[in-house]
Each structure stands twice: as structure tokens, then as C-alpha cells.
């Protein structure tokens, strides 16, 4: 058995990867990429077969955010020429769910910029979610509204929100290089708050913000400890006008190695290739589906994604199928 098969076996057996094994994944020589992907695919296939989850985002409030996240075009410190608007009306959010259904997206992600939702913004989301749940049976609804105040998670749960996303974004020790307006612990606490209210936790990362490989390993391990059911892995698409403008550290092969690492460390979880997929994985996008089992379809928050039909075609070409099953939490709980 080669090194990557040994790692896959350890992952399937629920064992922790050693630091050496984790680093060997990120340091995989390019000419060993296919054996690495094959090993990660064994783990992904064991838990998810040939299914791919599709997720669609709606940005219900854009820009106008007082926080200073260095990667974000919506921050007050960004000069990026994005569209800025306050919270959409309920009907617009409900209409987005119909679009998600058309795209075959099993999960509809309702996202809003800002540190956290004001109660009047939460009211709109709550009413929209109730209507969406009535109209689209089986659709998973994810909310991503920032730091939650006491009582807000419970209101979302009651309305029918299945999942709450709040990314850790980077490692705890690197976090202050990315933002100083809130702490890493603020982010972790919000994930824990969502979890405590019975909502499935989603939390992920952004790779390519000049962090070290040790930071990347730390992120994957932290999300395992947080028990995030869904893990979006974003690859930085540095937008002009943001503090990280011009940052271009990634190549498609390294992105694939990162996805393999997240699969090995979080074998049972939904690993989603997220923002920056098209610009960073480029022609190697399909290979990302060997370690990952989930993608976004449609546009991202402030950048355009590949058109839906191209993503469907990519899945079909690879022999994968769209996964419309509701949440994977039951599977994950049964296996961990
Ligand atoms: S990531 Fe969220 S909290 Fe940070 S600046 Fe952007 S919208 Fe605001």
C-alpha cells in the first residue's frame, strides 16, 4: 500500500491523521496527484457514492458591512465597485428558492452581509423561510447572516432553517491577519449557538490568504472538532479594491491537495468546493469532485460562477449524479 492508501485507510477507520501524514498530502509531488486523488476518492465514495450536492446562494443584502474582513468586497474597507443594497423583500428571497429548484440545487443558501442580523432583517428571513418550506418540500434551507444574538438561532430553527453557515475562514492563530473587527472565537461561538439550537452547522475556510500549510491543517482539524456537517472550502478570488487585492498564491494542483486533506480529516462530512472554484481550479475543476461531494451552482456573493448547464454537464461527463437527499447529518452522526 502506498502512503496515500495508508492515509485513506486511516481516514476510513476514523483515525486521526498524524501531522506528517497531513503535511505529506499538502506536499504531494505533482506527479503523485492522481494516486492522492484516488485515495481521497475511496473515502468520498464510501460515504457519498457518486452523488454531488448542489447549493445555490442568494445575496439578500450586499455591501454596507462595518467589519474589516480583508478578503471581502462587501466590507467597509473595500473599494470594490460592487452592487450595494439593503435587505431584500421577502418575496424576492422566496423567488430565489424557485430559481434554486430550477437549478436542481438541494440547498438554498440565504446570505446577508453585515456583522449580524438586526431583528427586523431576521423577521424578513423568518417569513421567507416559512413560505419556502411550504412551497418546496425537501429543499434544505441554509442561513448565513453573521454573528447571532441570543434568541435569533431559535427563531430561525422554528421557521424551518435546516442549516446555519458561519465560516471560521482561517486558523485561530492567523485570524487577526484577516480581520480585527471580530475574533475567531466570535465565529466559533456562532457555530456553537446554531448547533445548540438544533440547526445543522456549516463552517468553512478560505484558502490562499497567505496562510501557512500548518494553518491549513489546523483549519481542517478545527472543523472536525467543531463537528461541522458541511464544510465549504473557498479558494481566494482576490477582488480589486479589497485589502487582499493582487494576492495570487494558488495553483489548481495545490487546491486539489487541500480538498483531499479536508476529505481525509473530515471523512463523513459534506466537503463543498466553494467560491473561487472556476478561477483557481480552472481546467482541473472536475477532479475536485473526487475528494469533494458538493459545489455551488450559479453565482457567488460578489463574483460570477460557471453557468448551471456547464456544471450539470461536468457532473454528467464524470458519471456523477445530483444528490437531492436532505441533510446528511443523520449519516454523519451514525458514522462518527
Ligand atoms: S465577510 Fe461578512 S462580516 Fe466580513 S466584511 Fe464581508 S460581509 Fe462583513
Domain boundaries, the chain: 3-334
Q: What is the distance in A from the centroid of ligand 1 to the CA of 1? A: 45
Q: Which residues of 14-31 are buried (b: 16+ CB within 10 A; e: fewer)?
A: eeebeeebbbbbbebeee
104 CB-side CA count, 13 A:
17
- What would the pLDDT profile of 2-11 be if each residue is shown by its tens digit? 999 999 999 9
* Contact 67 CB / ligand 1 (< 6 Å): yes
- What would the pLDDT profile of 50-96 be if each residue is shown by its tens digit? 999 999 999 999 988 999 999 999 999 999 988 899 999 999 999 99
Task: Report d(CA 108, CA 143) in Å as an integer.
Answer: 8
Contact between 230 and 272 (Cβ < 8 Å)? yes
Of 27, 14, 44, residue with least CA distance to 292: 44
Task: Report d(CA 119, CA 26) in Å as an integer.
Answer: 43
- What would the pLDDT profile of 113-130 be if each residue is shown by its tens digit? 999 999 999 999 999 999
Q: What is the distance in A from the centroid of ligand 1 to the CA of 8? A: 36
pTM > 0.75: yes or no: yes
Q: What is the distance in A from the centroid of ligand 1 to the CA of 66? A: 8
* Contact 112 CB / ligand 1 (< 6 Å): no
Task: Report d(CA 8, CA 3) in Å as an integer.
Answer: 9
Q: What is the distance in A from the centroid of ligand 1 to the CA of 239? A: 14
* Contact 153 CB / ligand 1 (< 6 Å): no
Phi and psi at residue 299, in whole multiples of 5°? -85, 165
> Residue 30 carries which DSSP code?
G
At 306, the pLDDT band (50, 70, 90 cuts) reads confident
* Contact 69 CB / ligand 1 (< 6 Å): yes
Taking the CA atoms of the chain, what radius of gyration do you get in angstroms?
19
Query: CATH homologous superfamily for 3-334?
Result: Aldolase class I (3.20.20.70)
Smallest CA separation from ligand 1 atom 7, residue: 113
12 to 15, 203, 206, 218, 335: CA distances (angstroms): 7, 22, 25, 20, 10
Contact between 199 and 298 (Cβ < 8 Å)? no
Amino acid at each position: 500500500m502506498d502512503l496515500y492508501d495508508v492515509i485513506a485507510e486511516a481516514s476510513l477507520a476514523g483515525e486521526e491523521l498524524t501531522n506528517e501524514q497531513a503535511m505529506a498530502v499538502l506536499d504531494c509531488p505533482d506527479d503523485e496527484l492522481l494516486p492522492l486523488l484516488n485515495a481521497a476518492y475511496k473515502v468520498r465514495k464510501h460515504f457519498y457514492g457518486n452523488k454531488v450536492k448542489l447549493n445555490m446562494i442568494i445575496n439578500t443584502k450586499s455591501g454596507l458591512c462595518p467589519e474589516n474582513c480583508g478578503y471581502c468586497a462587501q466590507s467597509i474597507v473595500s473599494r470594490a465597485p460592487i452592487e450595494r443594497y439593503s435587505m431584500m423583500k421577502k418575496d424576492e428571497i422566496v423567488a430565489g428558492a424557485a430559481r434554486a429548484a430550477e437549478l436542481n440545487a438541494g440547498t438554498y443558501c440565504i446570505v446577508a452581509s453585515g456583522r449580524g442580523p438586526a431583528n427586523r432583517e431576521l423577521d424578513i428571513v423568518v417569513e421567507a423561510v416559512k413560505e419556502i418550506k411550504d412551497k418546496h418540500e425537501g429543499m434544505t434551507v441554509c442561513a448565513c447572516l453573521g454573528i447571532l444574538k441570543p434568541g435569533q438561532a431559535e427563531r430561525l430553527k422554528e421557521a424551518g432553517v435546516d442549516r446555519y453557515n458561519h465560516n471560521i475562514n482561517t486558523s485561530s492563530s492567523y485570524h487577526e491577519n484577516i480581520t480585527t473587527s471580530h475574533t475567531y472565537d466570535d465565529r466559533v461561538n456562532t457555530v456553537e449557538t446554531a448547533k445548540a439550537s438544533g440547526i445543522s452547522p456549516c463552517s468553512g475556510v478560505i484558502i490562499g490568504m497567505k496562510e501557512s500549510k500548518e494553518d491549513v491543517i489546523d483549519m481542517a482539524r478545527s472543523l472536525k472538532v467543531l463537528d461541522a456537517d458541511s464544510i465549504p472550502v473557498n479558494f481566494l478570488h482576490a477582488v480589486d479594491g479589497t485589502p487582499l487585492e493582487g494576492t495570487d498564491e494558488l495553483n489548481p494542483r495545490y487546491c486539489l491537495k487541500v480538498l483531499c486533506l479536508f476529505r481525509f480529516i473530515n471523512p463523513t462530512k459534506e466537503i463543498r468546493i466553494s467560491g473561487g472554484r472556476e478561477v483557481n481550479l480552472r481546467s482541473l475543476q472536475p477532479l475536485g469532485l473526487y475528494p469533494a461531494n458538493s459545489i455551488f451552482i450559479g453565482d457567488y456573493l460578489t463574483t460570477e460562477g460557471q453557468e448551471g448547464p456547464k456544471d450539470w454537464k461536468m457532473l454528467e461527463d464524470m458519471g456523477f449524479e445530483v444528490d437531492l437527499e436532505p441533510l446528511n447529518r443523520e449519516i454523519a452522526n451514525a458514522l462518527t
